[in-house]
Amino acid sequence: MCGIWALFGNDSGCISKQYKSASKISHRGPDSFRIESVNHFENCCLAFHRLAIVDDLYGMQPMRIKTYPYVWLIYNGEIYNYRKVEKHFGFNYLTECDGEAIIHLYMKRGIQYAASMLDGVFAFCIVDTMAKKVFLGRDTFGVRPLFKLNSDDGSMAVCSEAKGLVDIQKTKKSEIVAFPPGHVETFDLAPSGKVTLVESEKFHSLGQPPKWLELTTDIQLAQADSVYENIREVFTEAVRKRLMSDRRIGCMLSGGLDSSIVAALVCKLAKEAGISYPIQTYSIGMEGSPDVAAARKVAAHIGSEHHEIMFTPEEGTQAVEETIYHLESFDITTLRASVGMYLLSRYIRKETDSVVIFSGEGADEVAQGYIYFHKAPSAEEAEEESVRLLKDLYLFDVLRADRMTAAHGLELRVPFLDHHFTSYYSSIDPALKQPRDGVEKFLIRKAFDNGLLPSEVLWRRKEAFSDGLTSLKKSWFEILQDHIESQITDGQLEDSPKRFPFNPPTSKESYYYRQIFEKYYPGNAHWTPYMWMPKWLPGCNDPSARVLAHYKETGIEANEGKL
């Protein structure tokens, strides 16, 4: 994980203020930092916080290469097909850094083509001083974050996290917005450093095969009736390509289906790739956590070097405020899941030497894995909901996973959001994707029913990460609500629409999170446009899976005690 920051046309003229804003995201890149002014353009500078993963020697940014010295690049991400791009087009790379592919592709056919040919996750800013242009781009699902601040006077600021822009916002009449995933934008750049938006283009849509598949591919799909084989092959390749790293690799392992498949494949493929060190896996929970018990069983099965991190209710509630600061959101279910991930990431950074961390985010959105999909009225409506969830992932689970790991200088990798895998899965008949035999994600379970995982874990029914942290006797959300009950009065909650007219809190828990958010990010509630809630469940007013009637109807409660 790295952090990028750029400023165009801000005439404050105070470098100390610029540095202060850029330093707000130093946690994303703890290895090194650089800030540079762009030659011949006033009030125009680029900054980069580096977490060195590939090419420690020449990978520092802003990147400029002798072939195209007028092109400046800062980016956060990983380009998994950079060697294939080099070979296919005959490029002559001058570094070993994967991001150099962005410069060459841009110079060959422009920014829209360049973004469409990248197999990876990325957020970038290119300054072309010869063409007098600025370009911004972000990957299809927004796995890598990007925010921008535009002012009426033509100035613009860009940052990996919104917190790096709030001080600038205070000095200008402007709004901080998330850059849209799957898009590139082009700006004219004036000598004053001011910018003017020229064009905003979508380079990839959900469900469409990525353009980079036109290059050589390592996967040949079987016939349409071999759906299990295709899922297994495409997803295995999604994990394999993400082993690209000069730093140690580890896996978050909740004991649920998604993280267990990822961890098992990482361990298997790492051995095949000749990685000599044992893969470390990490689980977190409180006493009696079904997730911890399941993760322990998986770790023993796959032969990982396993770490169990236990925390108390007090440690969890004490971490809420710093979690919200890093999260930049007040969504209830996102925050509940973020606390455990924040504490787990902190442990990984302090106590181990793993830096590149695999996780299972995205599977529930791609494969209709949430419990409420059991209640979908039809396969078509379930498919529509899956697409909606994927489009908004950058506001919820992807946001959580990025911020919680980046807060501690870790790099997250999420193979379930691989472009090839998601485009293939979206092509499957919607009727086949629905829950079957009482379980969600039947196709994925069946595809990996080959000894990769213990059967009782492979067919373990859905347990949300924030719920599985704790025992069935008292859930994490109940611990939080008990902690908050005495801190927010009934009167405060009644007056919440006046104090918070946009997306007002409807419970004491949501009020508590919102007031902490406003403490750090006043006036920016639009970053959380709505609260995540399950669908097709009349009367449901809490996002926890454990409050859903279906949780009990399918016997999940009883089954958790048998792991």
Q: Is residue 148 within 8 Å of 136, Cβ to Cβ?
A: yes
Please report how many Cα atoms fall inside a 13 Å half-sphere around the Cα of residue 266, on the Cβ side.
34
Q: Is residue 372 within 8 Å of 534, Cβ to Cβ?
A: yes
* Residue type at position 236: T
Q: Is residue 132 within 8 Å of 188, Cβ to Cβ?
A: yes
Q: What is the 3-state secondary structure (H, E, C) of 304-320?
A: CEEEEEECCHHHHHHCH
Distances (CA, A) of 402 to 27, 345, 380, 413, 459: 12, 11, 31, 9, 28
Please report which residue ranges of 253-331 form alpha helices under DSSP H.
Answer: 257-272, 290-302, 313-318, 320-327
* Residue type at position 477: F
Q: Provide the 8-state DSSP code for 460.
A: P
Three-state DSSP at 293 gives helix
259 closest CA partner among 375, 351, 146, 337: 337
Distances (CA, A) of 505 to 163, 270, 332: 22, 46, 10
**2 labelled catalytic:** yes
Maximum distance among all alpha carbons in the chain? Answer: 68
Q: How many CB atoms lie within 10 A of CB 68?
A: 16
State the Cα–Cα distance between residues 260 and 141, nearest whole angstrom.
22
Three-state DSSP at 345 gives helix
Residues with active-site annotation: 2
